[in-house]
Structure 1
Amino acid sequence: MAKATKKQALGRGLSALLKDPENDINAVGDKNADKVVGNIVELEMDTIEVNPFQPRTNFNDETLQELASSIRELGVIQPITVRKMEFNKYQLVSGERRFRASKIVGLKTIPAYIRIANDQESLEMALVENIQRQDLDPIEIALSYQRLIDEIQLTQEKLSDRVGKKRSTIANYLRLLKLDPIVQTGMRDGFLSMGHGRALVNISKKKDQISLYEKILANRLSVRETEAAVKEYQEGKPETPAKTPTKENAVPEFAQQEEKKLTKYLEAAVELKASERGKGKITISFHSREELKRIRKLITGE
């Protein structure tokens, strides 16, 4: 416990140093820079601006509230990383979720690592650190890789070294950007896995991608089944007919029709079981709390 108190006291001392105009630090060679760069410093929240290079575009409100509750109880365990912009002004490099959650809690200060870097270095640090540490969806990762290639002028080989991923892995992510935007949105919302996306990208016509995407949702196709469907499409084979259901598990035609309508309306996998008399049950699949809320709003109108 004494050790933690000492670190916090050090952070407060460095904070005072950073507020002294006579000790303004703008480069690694400046006086006292070695005391600040790489150390944990308590920075005032209102001196920090968000990073325009942040690759994450979706911040789930519910998970932010959960993180805020954790911070309220335990404090900010992992410091954010910032870069110095001007006197007593900083910009986020990584840790925007922690920064946002700390604002929700009402914290006045937040522990931070300070780095001194130019815009290009900041962009690279933000993208690389978020790819490695944040729970980005496959499309966000692909977009981050593409930005590193376009804006930092990295080849796939050099990018592989920077992020510690095989070149083939990076290539597979980048190929996802060839998917139709509707399919990409489905991946971002959790309807499709990366495996589904990797199979669909082998279909060049966007309208056919969307057609198969709808079938994946309606029929709850696995990755392997999707790969088989893509192979049949490429070979020009007719679709494999569905297995004839047995008497025990047969679904009446009226139920099949309603299942398809519900799947399309809810944009989620729906399974409907019913007897010829009309008695049965509905199962709706979802992949996240956010998706559950979306489905609930569609059903209840609230």
Structure 2
Amino acid sequence: MQNYQEVVLSRIRPSPFNPRKSLDEKKLQELAASIREKGVLEPILLRPFDGTSMPMTDERSFEIVAGERRYRAMCRIAEENGGLDGHTIPAIVRELSDDEAFEVMTIENLCREDLTELEEARGFQMYLEKKGEDALPYLAEKTGINPRYIRRRTAVLKLPDYCLSAWEKGKIVYGHLEQLLRLSDDQEIERFFERINASPWNGPMTVQQLSAAIDHDTPDIKEAPFDIKAAGCPACQSNSTVQKKLFDIDARKALCLNRKCFKQHVNNHLLSTWKSRKTGTQGFRFDSDVSYSARNGFYGNRKPAPECKKCQLFVSLVNIYGKIGEKQLCIGDSKCFDKIGKAEKESGAGGSGKTGPRVSWHGSYFRDKFYQVKLFERMNSIDPDDERIDRLALYHLLRDDYTVLDQFIDRKGLAEQFGTHYARPEIVWRYVESLDRETIRNCIRELAILLAGNKENTESVRGLVAAHIGIELAKEFSMDEEYLQKKTRAELVSIGEKLQIFKDPKVEAYLFEKLLKKRGKYTSCKKSELVKLFLESGVDLTGKVPDEILGESERTDGAAGAAVGLES
């Protein structure tokens, strides 16, 4: 049962179940200005409210089911003109139960285009928590939104609040959240989150850069010293090859995204096999757990004293794969280490009595300083066409971008020669040094292609490269399913109207014959039907480009052609 009424504003309250938690101040002001000029053109939807949080009067109170923005804008106008009691708003009053009101409110809001991404995700979550996971197909049908999209959006709500807050403020995008969701450890999530906006010069990391950074810092499962099948690695949700089905990642290798779990398995394996290593130490520590300032090394002719060998802090350092980096090391108090060393020196113990350099780092530091100066001088005198320049260029192209190096290794079938994606610089150099000039030139060409598409470039730089080789965005771009699925229903209608897609005879025929809609009534289509209309009607989408794709520079250069912008 429902009826139309003019309801006094003071008798209305917003619903606590509305997924919209914030209102755009500018748009609210624009709506209020429109109402002042034209009035409220569409009644809001109310239901009688008998709760205890609003005092009852002789007249009934009401709760908003749909139309909170219109209500808020009308309240502003009323407050400027004597208060809420003297002003009404047109409304449809409908008797609805809590469940019915919740359903109408949630579906209505999720179909609107002005929800923030976080509000949309929380709206999905609220609906599924109340109705159950079995209600997902119904929710997808009613909103015209792909079920997989809904699942992926609600999944990121598991991340810490600081991640969601940054998403809401526009500091990161949804793709960043999906990459962070791959991680299982809270400390790892926080570490990579902080890296996204860590650079004050280069701006925030792109989603691709974050994905590459996570992969680079992630253990290769094939390099594990423990039994990966017994540990359950092949089917684990933290295995990148398993995640490939869930996230937008290019998983060429089986990497473990749960570094803490991987490390624990390595630790258990080492505990059971350590005695066979015959290091002479009391145990091991992971190099990531010991700061450089806490490492007291036995360099030069200094050997561990008898009392050192008995100390529990006389250990070996191992990497994440359990491989020994430093065989013997003291991680105890440096005063104790220095005191024992001084006593050894004074007593003449430790072999011939000779000691190593007083300061262990002087040799490597000044050797490297010499190389830096001489390399600069010598290379300035080498002809640009010299083969050595090409060789050095190839080496640095490979070494300076671990993502490109990984792809190059895969393309060339060099995995066995290079080992893991932690390939040492010396291995890369020896490989480059072995190539003839023609091969070097071909490799540089391949890398240029990889770098143009996959390098940690910004989208704008890739656009400049594309223009350089003759790619014309305004003439060659074509909307695909991925792009269309990311648009709301209202955005699809706007795109179709402004690019005149709906006027194409093929589109009109498909609308009438396949979708069984009245001619020209594309506004009655659900989102899923609009996507089909774009992709399956046979209309040529090439060169029909929304302004958001062209970007400001393309538009001002007059390259827009058939492109028309979307309303903000």
TM-score range, shorter chain: 0.5 to 0.7
Distance 1:178 1:170 in 2: 14
Residue-by-residue CA offset, 1:251-294 (whole Å, 9 max, x unaligned): xxxxxxxxxxxxxxxxxxxxxxxxxxxxxxxxxxxxxxxxxxxx
Aligned pairs for 1:12-27 within 5 A:
none
Q: Residues 18 and 106 of structure 2 are in contact (CA less than 8 Å); yes or no, is this contact kept in structure 1?
A: yes
Deviation at 1:110, TM superposition (A): 1.5
Cα 1:95–1:231 change in 2 (3 A) is farther
Distance (whole Å) between structure 2 residues aligned to residue 47 and residue 93 of structure 1: 14
Corresponding residue number in structure 2 for 1:90:
62
TM norm structure 2: 0.34
> What is the Cα deviation at residue 241 of structure 1?
5.2
Q: Give yes or no for the alignment of 1:54 onto 2:18.
A: yes
- Matching residue within 43, 66, 73 for 2:30: 66
Output the amino acid matched with 1:222. T
Greater CA radius of gyration, 1 or 2? 2
Residue number among 118, 132, 138 corresponding to 2:117 in the alignment: 138
Cα contact 2:6–2:89 (8 A) shared by 1: yes
Unaligned runs of 5+ in 1: 1-27, 244-302
Structure 2 unmatched ranges of 5 or more: 51-58, 79-83, 221-254, 256-398, 403-568
Please say if 1:109 is aligned against 2:109: no
Partners in 2 of 1:200 and 1:145 — Cα distance?
A: 20
Q: Are residues 1:208 and 2:203 paired? A: no
How far, CA to CA, are the matches of 1:165 and 1:157 in structure 2?
10
Q: Is the 8 A contact 1:139 1:176 kept in 2?
A: no
SS at match of 2:111: helix
Measure how far apart 1:118 and its partner are: 0.1
Rounded to whole Å, the distance in 2 between the matches of 1:180 and 1:143 is 14
Does residue 1:128 correspond to 2:84, yes or no? no
CA distance in 2 between counterparts of 1:231 and 1:136 reads 33
Q: In the alignment, is residue 152 of structure 1 matched against residue 131 of structure 2? A: yes
Counterparts of 2:160 and 2:6, CA distance in 1? 45
Paired-residue identity, %: 30
Helix, strand or coil: the match of 1:83? strand
Alpha carbons of structure 1 residues 232 and 216: separation in structure 2 relative to 1, 3 Å: same
- The structure whose RCO (Cα within 8 Å, separation 6+) is larger is 1
Aligned partner letter, 1:73: E
Question: 1:199 is matched with which residue?
Answer: 179
Residue pairs, 1:166-245, within 5 angstroms: 166-218=146-198, 219-235=203-219
**Given that residues 44 and 90 in structure 2 are in contact (C-alpha distance below 8 angstroms), is that contact kept between their aligned partners in structure 1?**
yes
Letter in 1 for 2:169: D
| C-alpha distance in structure 2 between counterparts of 1:162 and 1:154, whole Å | 15
Cα 1:234–1:69, aligned 2, differ >3 Å: closer, same or farther?
A: farther
For residue 93 of structure 1, report the CA deviation from its aligned partner: 0.7
* Partner-residue secondary structure (3-state), 1:136: coil
Moved over 4 A (4+): 240-243
CA distance in structure 1 between the partners assigned to 2:114 and 2:165 by the alignment: 17
Distance 1:137 1:227 in 2: 24
- How high is the TM-score relative to the length of structure 1? 0.60
Task: Give the alignment's Cα RMSD to 1 decimal.
Answer: 2.7
Distance change >3 Å, CA 141–CA 234, structure 1 → 2 = farther
Q: Deviations over 1:16-66 (max 9, x none)?
A: xxxxxxxxxxxx3xxxx5xx2xxx543221221111211122234343233
Deviation at 1:214, TM superposition (A): 2.3
Change (3 A) 1:241 1:127: farther
- Decide which moves more: 151-160 or 183-192: 151-160
Q: CA deviation at 1:235?
A: 4.5
